[in-house]
Structure 1
Amino acid sequence: MDQKTSISSNSNIVVHKKRKLSDEARKEERAFWIFISPWVIGFLLFTGGPIIASLALSLTEYNVIDSPKFVGLQNFSGLFADKLFYKSLTVTAYYVVLAVPFSIIIGLALAVLLNQKVKGQAFFRTMFYAPSIISGVSVAFLWSWLLNPDFGIINGLLHDLFGIEGPGWFTSTRAVIPSMVLMQLTAVGGTMVIFLASLQSLPQDLYEAAAIDGASRLKQFFKITVPLISPVILFNTIMGIISSFQIFTQAFIITKGGPDWMSYFYVLYLFDTAFGQFRMGYASAQAWILFIIIFTFTMLSLWASKRLVHYEYESK
């Protein structure tokens, strides 16, 4: 009986303690939901809700005026028979293949240069980063003037300094995508800042040991710097892929998809479908195809990075 009484009293103490902890946990939980509720409400109203709504609309025929009419997978099957769908994807893929590597290489090169202790370091960092925070519309107008084949300063300099007739830039089917890539490099400041932060966190003793062993600066860069910042390279690559697939402003402002559909990017096609033709169901299907494409490329990047990305605290 004494043993049973002892067990019973101990269990009562445990239950009492659990109840007390449970009360504290409930208070913390209430506080958590109170503080996070603005974000939750905003996400449900402006992000989560529209995502679910677009999935539902992708299965309908909807022109904003009339009620949605369920058509099943007709929008998706129509996309795969749409020539503009393949054209816009091809143009966008061409842009991604050019823009992402150049953004990574130039962003890293600028970060390495600006990581050196030189006079006016803060000024140069600000100068290279500032263009990345300027509105995309204003940047598009600026570049449309700079690269104008008739009165643009770039073609004028090429003619005056080198006697070269500049290309049509945004009016040439061959030059329009490289011109878009050149313009995109204006916004490489964000990538540069992320690389710069990672470079400043690298342990200097590794470089000192490599210098003692006789390793050159170039060898130190490829054998020490690149492996150590490889997670940051992966991050910037994935973010570059995502943003490049969503290119829209430059083509909408400057070329309207021309010449000869060579800058008719996928998101521009989606925009024309939704707000030019008011085919919201078809546009929703386009949006979900874009999501699947970006998700696939992101997963492929993560899978391909397993042997290329070095994590300092990775368990072996």
Structure 2
Amino acid sequence: MSTATAPGRRTRPATRRRRGEGGRHQGRVALLFISPWLIGFVVFMAYPVLYTVYLSLTDYDVINDPSFVGLDNYRELMGDEKIRLALRNTFVYTLMSVPAQLAVSLGLALLLQRAGRAAGFFRTAFFLPKMTPPVAVGVLLLMLLNGQNGLLNEFLGWFGINGPNWTTDPAWVKPGLVIMSLWTVGASVIILLAALQEVPEELLDAARVDGAGWWRRLWHVTVPIISPAIYFIVVVDTIASLQSFTEAYTAFFGAGNTTYSNDAALFYAIYLFQQAFEFLHMGYASAMAMLLFVIVMVVTAVQVMLSRRYVHYTGGAR
């Protein structure tokens, strides 16, 4: 009996050894496959972020070598009036644009849900503006929202409404930019349309039988079910709005533009760009970049915490 089991006992360490070698081999293969992503992350993400942290602690004008100044750039941030102006403009624009984009996206998605065979055409039509270069959108803003002969004011004039000076009146600059941001909601429309198609029809029928109207079915049945898609869009649009740059810069700051109300359109990313590449205050701009990073992280963390209460996932998970 002992001689029969002895060979089996001797082979177990060898089996475990082969399994361990196989696991290590699989690990090396997996590492090989993900190495392009790892290299890209280190080169294009991790290193630039760490180098920006270093530059934020220096006085650097791109031409001369950086000189270490400690936290001086951050102290200067606290006393810069234009920082406050840029942050205020950015937050106001974000609070206006994110709800507007979500409302328009959801409305278009609900309409597409009823489009039947034409839904494919309209999905493409709504998404194509997303492919428009942001610089072109900035130029388009000046053409459509010109206070004297812009197409939007011409349209309002048909109804006897005297349109405002969208590009010169500081009170209407940000609303005009919000209107132009609606030009590129196509991606959000597609995401919400996919979520709407997953809403169980039997739940809507049950609510209809209970006497719920269209609005109550939308608010109490549809919106909770598609809340994960809504949450994703809100987070992505919020981050994008906090970093708004191209359209506003093209319309109000590009090519030495001094005709329009620049202060009302001075977003944080624009002021950061000016400090870095117009005034060559690269160390100060790096400190601004780190402040924006912290702001985005804090805002996103708040949204994540709120999502635990308001976002409902299938299967009861939150």
Aligned residues: 313
Distance across 2 between alignment mates of 1:252 and 1:50: 24
Alignment of 1:30-69 (within 5 A): 30-69=28-67
Give the residue type in structure 1 aligned to 2:282: M
User: Which one is further off, 59-68 or 144-153?
Assistant: 144-153
User: Which one is further off, 227-236 or 209-218?
Assistant: 209-218
The answer to whether residue 169 in structure 2 is matched with residue 167 in structure 1 is no
Q: Report what 1:137 is aligned to.
A: 135
Q: 2:246 aligns with which of 244, 249, 255?
A: 249
Q: Report what 1:191 is aligned to.
A: 188
Q: Report what 1:26 is aligned to.
A: 24
Q: 1:207 aligns with which of 198, 204, 210?
A: 204
Q: Report what 1:265 is aligned to.
A: 267
User: Which one is further off, 212-221 or 47-56?
Assistant: 212-221
Distance across 1 between alignment mates of 2:282 and 2:136: 29
**SS at 1:271 equivalent:** helix
Distance across 1 between alignment mates of 2:229 and 2:6: 56
Distance across 2 between alignment mates of 1:35 and 1:195: 33
In the TM superposition, what is the alpha-carbon distance from 1:7 to its structure 2 partner?
Answer: 8.5
Q: 1:147 aligns with which of 145, 148, 152?
A: 145
In the TM superposition, what is the alpha-carbon distance from 1:9 to its structure 2 partner?
Answer: 5.8
In the TM superposition, what is the alpha-carbon distance from 1:85 to its structure 2 partner?
Answer: 0.6
Q: Report what 2:281 is aligned to.
A: 279
Q: 1:102 aligns with which of 97, 100, 103?
A: 100
Q: Report what 1:290 is aligned to.
A: 292
**SS at 2:314 equivalent:** coil
Q: 1:219 aligns with which of 210, 216, 228?
A: 216
In the TM superposition, what is the alpha-carbon distance from 1:8 to its structure 2 partner?
Answer: 9.7
Distance across 1 between alignment mates of 2:90 and 2:78: 16
**SS at 1:175 equivalent:** helix
The answer to whether residue 79 in structure 2 is matched with residue 81 in structure 1 is yes
Does the 8 Å CA contact 2:112/2:123 hold for their aligned counterparts? yes
Distance across 1 between alignment mates of 2:267 and 2:182: 18
Identity of counterpart residues, as a percentage?
37
Distance across 2 between alignment mates of 1:255 and 1:190: 26
Does the 8 Å CA contact 2:55/2:283 hold for their aligned counterparts? yes
Give the residue type in structure 2 aligned to 1:85: I
In the TM superposition, what is the alpha-carbon distance from 1:260 to its structure 2 partner?
Answer: 5.1
Does the 8 Å CA contact 2:73/2:287 hold for their aligned counterparts? yes
In the TM superposition, what is the alpha-carbon distance from 1:168 to its structure 2 partner?
Answer: 1.3
Q: Deviations over 1:76-109 (max 9, x none)?
A: 1110110011010000001001001111111111
Does the 8 Å CA contact 2:224/2:311 hold for their aligned counterparts? yes
Distance across 1 between alignment mates of 2:300 and 2:283: 26
In the TM superposition, what is the alpha-carbon distance from 1:117 to its structure 2 partner?
Answer: 4.3
Does the 8 Å CA contact 2:252/2:262 hold for their aligned counterparts? no
**SS at 2:316 equivalent:** coil
Give the residue type in structure 1 aligned to 2:268: Y
Distance across 1 between alignment mates of 2:217 and 2:14: 62
What is the alpha-carbon root mean square deviation over aligned residues?
A: 2.2
Q: Deviations over 1:238-286 (max 9, x none)?
A: 1111000000011110112951511100000000011011111111110
Distance across 1 between alignment mates of 2:6 and 2:290: 60
In the TM superposition, what is the alpha-carbon distance from 1:298 to its structure 2 partner?
Answer: 0.6
In the TM superposition, what is the alpha-carbon distance from 1:6 to its structure 2 partner?
Answer: 6.1
Q: Deviations over 1:215-236 (max 9, x none)?
A: 3222221111111111111111
Distance across 2 between alignment mates of 1:156 and 1:226: 36
Give the residue type in structure 2 aligned to 1:77: R
Cα 1:199–1:315 shift into 2, 3 Å:
closer
Distance across 1 between alignment mates of 2:212 and 2:315: 25
Give ranges in structure 1 of 5+ residues lacking alignment: none
In the TM superposition, what is the alpha-carbon distance from 1:151 to its structure 2 partner?
Answer: 2.8
Give the residue type in structure 1 aligned to 2:43: L
Cα 1:314–1:85 shift into 2, 3 Å:
same
